[in-house]
């Protein structure tokens, strides 16, 4: 295990948010009232909130100062130009269209580039990204390496593209049916797993040969750059900022959810190098988000984002960010708790299938484990298994995915090492009494995205 000083926080605490401490009986009541679904808990009743890393970061004092410098003009806000400058300098993209969050940018680029019947290859799907591709008339095709779907594989770059799969799609459909390849850094649904620079270069070479664009889902690009620095020998001595820039330079445009890497609570953008596509996007954003110099954001939000972008590529920040996640993962690993390996950049994924082998998937082991973690210490995690997978649209039968996981997502700069210890110890306590834990039945099931609102009862 790495020593404590190897990832210690490169900041000190100036302001605190007090948390409500609950008793065991209060937590049992709260989770019962929430139908044993962590999405339905009130945040007030949660001690350590690991539901998501989206929009949950702590901003720096510099970002907060930036909020006070919001220029709330309808058009041409100073903060827009600061954001444009940050995107050009840090990421290297020429043109910027701000959006309210990542999906706003996905909507714009999908409606501009995708025609009915098109194929969009990608290194694993993301929920909103795939939906916008489908709504524009396209079909997503998974081109990630097989290792990404295997919880046991310890491949250092599980986000890599299988070039054979991509080439087969190009052969089958031809480049005119493939408007772009969507490349995510790091891959969220694979557990925060990175793509290597050498793989991205090969994807660039292949797509360039066929005149196909790469649109970059750059939501966690700095986290990906950190893994490249740590794992790809060529980049051992290169700064995260340089690696980020090199990744972006291999692509033609990007969608960004700034609620992740860029350390803000709301915001996103579309970035492009080609002027014609930019002009279309700048025109379309007015219909759905707002004028092209604010895209659904306040001036202060754009200022905080511009500052957050620069902070996100700092070596010490990223070392502590990923180091904290690894610290938690390594403590669990040392205790013999089954987790997905390698440990990803934004969270630790518990293997509920292995932790609760006596609970069949029909009785929702990951949902049960998430509820038990809340009862034990007020920790809120998220189910990523059969409940999230939902039902097959045609047969109406439940989908039983290979991965039955509980995601412990770590917000950036929010919790301390002591909190990581509380989490690890709570998981160990639940693990120790695992044989006594019983599964659940679903007593209410909504029609769409059931994991958000479904209700359960212990058997």
User: By CB under 6 A, what part of segment 211-230 binds ligand PLP?
Assistant: 217, 219
- 150 catalytic per annotation: no
126 counts as binding ligand PLP under rule CB under 6 A? yes
Triad 185, 190, 192: Cα angle to 5°: 50
Cβ distance to ligand PLP smaller for residue 128 or 316: 128
> Of 79, 129, 293, 388, which one interacts with ligand PLP (CB under 6 A)?
129
Count of residues touching ligand PLP (by CB under 6 A): 15
Q: Which of 56, 101, 224, 409 binds ligand PLP (CB under 6 A)?
A: 101
Sign of CA dihedral 401, 101, 276, 184: negative
Supply the minimum distance, in Å, between the C-beta of residue 217 and ligand PLP: 5
Write out the two tokens for 288: 């759905």
Kindly name the residue from 45, 217, 252, 301 that is annotated as catalytic: 217
Q: Under the criterion CB under 6 A, does residue 158 sit at the interface with ligand PLP?
A: no
217 is catalytic: yes
- Residue window 268-297: x/- pattern of binding to ligand PLP, with contact defined by CB under 6 A: x-----------------------------
345 makes contact with ligand PLP (CB under 6 A): no
Tokens of 179: 């408007």
**Residue in 371, 433, 376, 404 with CA at minimum distance from that of residue 31:** 371
Assess 103 for contact with ligand PLP (CB under 6 A): yes
Q: Is 349 in the site for ligand PLP (CB under 6 A)?
A: no
Scanning 18-26, 100-108, 302-310, 355-363 for contacts with ligand PLP by CB under 6 A, the matching segment is 100-108
Asked whether position 130 contacts ligand PLP by CB under 6 A, the answer is: no
172-201: contacts with ligand PLP (CB under 6 A)? 184, 188
Binder of ligand PLP out of 63, 257, 293, 345 (CB under 6 A): 257
Identify which of residues 77 and 129 has a Cβ nearer to ligand PLP in the complex.
Answer: 129
Looking at the Cβ atoms of 63 and 188, the one nearer to ligand PLP is 188
Please confirm, yes or no, whether 74 is among the known catalytic residues: yes
Q: Which is nearer to ligand PLP, 101 or 426 (CB)?
A: 101
Supply the minimum distance, in Å, between the C-beta of residue 136 and ligand PLP: 15
Give the contacts of 327 (CB within 8 A, at least 6 positions apart): 1, 2, 7, 417, 420
126 is catalytic: yes
User: Which residues have a Cβ under 8 Å from the Cβ of 360 and sit 6 or more positions away?
Assistant: 439
Task: For the CB of residue 190, give the shortest distance to ligand PLP in the complex, in Å.
Answer: 10
Report the distance separating Cα 58 and Cα 200, nearest Å. Answer: 31
CA distance 19 to 44: 8
Stretch that binds ligand PLP, among 61-69, 121-129, 145-153, 422-430 (CB under 6 A): 121-129
Q: Judged by CB, which is closer to ligand PLP: 101, or 199?
A: 101
Distance CA 317, CA 310 (A): 11
288 catalytic residue (yes or no): no
Pick out residues in 68-97 that bind ligand PLP (CB under 6 A).
none
Which lies closer to ligand PLP via its Cβ, residue 99 or residue 368? 99
Instruction: Give the nearer residue to ligand PLP in terms of CB position, either 123 or 293.
Output: 123
Strand 180-184 relative to strand 48-49, pairing: unpaired
Among candidate residues 260, 300, 353, 380, the one labeled active-site is: 260
Binding mask 13-52 for ligand PLP (x = CB under 6 A): ----------------------------------------
Piece in contact with ligand PLP (CB under 6 A), picked from 29-37, 78-86, 99-107, 141-149: 99-107
Which positions ≥6 away from 208 have C-beta within 8 Å?
none
Residue 54 binding ligand PLP, by CB under 6 A? yes
CB 409 within 8 A of CB 51: yes
Of all residues in this chain, which one has the CB nearest to ligand PLP in the complex? 102
- Positions marked catalytic: 74, 126-127, 217, 260, 384, 451
Positions in the binding site for ligand PLP (CB under 6 A)? 54, 101-103, 126, 128-129, 184, 188, 217, 219, 257, 259-260, 268
């Amino acid at each position: 295990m790495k020593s404590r000083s190897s990832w210690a926080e490169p900041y000190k605490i100036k302001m605190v948010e007090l948390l409500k401490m609950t008793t065991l009986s209060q937590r049992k009541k709260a989770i019962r009232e929430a139908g044993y679904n962590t999405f339905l808990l009130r945040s007030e009743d949660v001690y350590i909130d690991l539901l998501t890393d989206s929009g949950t970061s702590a901003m720096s004092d510099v970002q907060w100062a930036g909020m006070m410098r919001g220029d709330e003009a309808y058009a041409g806000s100073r903060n827009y130009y600061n954001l444009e400058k940050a995107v050009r300098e840090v990421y290297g993209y020429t043109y910027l269209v701000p959006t309210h969050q990542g999906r706003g940018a996905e909507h714009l680029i999908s409606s501009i580039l995708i025609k009915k019947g098109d194929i969009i290859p990608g290194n694993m799907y993301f929920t909103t990204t795939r939906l916008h591709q489908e709504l524009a008339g396209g079909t997503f095709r998974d081109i990630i390496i097989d290792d990404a779907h295997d919880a046991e594989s310890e491949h250092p770059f599980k986000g890599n593209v299988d070039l054979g799969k991509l080439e087969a799609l190009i052969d089958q459909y031809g480049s005119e049916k493939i408007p772009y390849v969507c490349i995510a850094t790091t891959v969220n649904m694979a557990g925060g797993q990175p793509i290597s620079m050498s793989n991205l270069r090969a994807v660039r070479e292949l797509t360039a040969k066929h005149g196909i664009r790469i649109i970059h889902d750059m939501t966690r690009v700095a986290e990906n750059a950190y893994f490249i620095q740590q794992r790809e020998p060529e980049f051992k001595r290169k700064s995260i900022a340089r690696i980020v820039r090199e990744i972006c330079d291999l692509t033609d445009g990007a969608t960004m959810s700034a609620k992740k890497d860029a350390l803000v609570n709301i915001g996103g953008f579309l970035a492009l190098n080609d002027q014609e596509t930019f002009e279309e996007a700048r025109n379309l954003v007015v219909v759905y988000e707002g004028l092209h110099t604010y895209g659904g954001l306040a001036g202060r939000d754009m200022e905080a984002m511009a500052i957050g972008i620069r902070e996100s590529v700092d070596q010490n920040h990223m070392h502590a960010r990923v180091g904290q996640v690894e610290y938690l993962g390594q403590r669990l690993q040392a205790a013999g708790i089954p987790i997905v390996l390698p440990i990803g950049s934004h969270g630790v994924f518990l293997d509920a299938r292995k932790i609760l082998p006596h609970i069949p998937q029909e009785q929702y082991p990951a949902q049960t484990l998430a509820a038990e973690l809340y009862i034990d210490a007020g920790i809120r995690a998220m189910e990523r298994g059969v409940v999230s997978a939902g039902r097959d649209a045609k047969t109406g039968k439940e989908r039983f995915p290979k991965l039955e996981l509980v995601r412990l997502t770590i917000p950036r700069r929010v919790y301390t090492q002591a909190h990581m210890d509380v989490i690890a110890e709570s998981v160990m306590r639940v693990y120790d009494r695992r044989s006594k834990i019983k599964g659940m039945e679903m007593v209410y099931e909504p029609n769409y995205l059931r994991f958000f609102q479904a209700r359960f009862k212990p058997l």
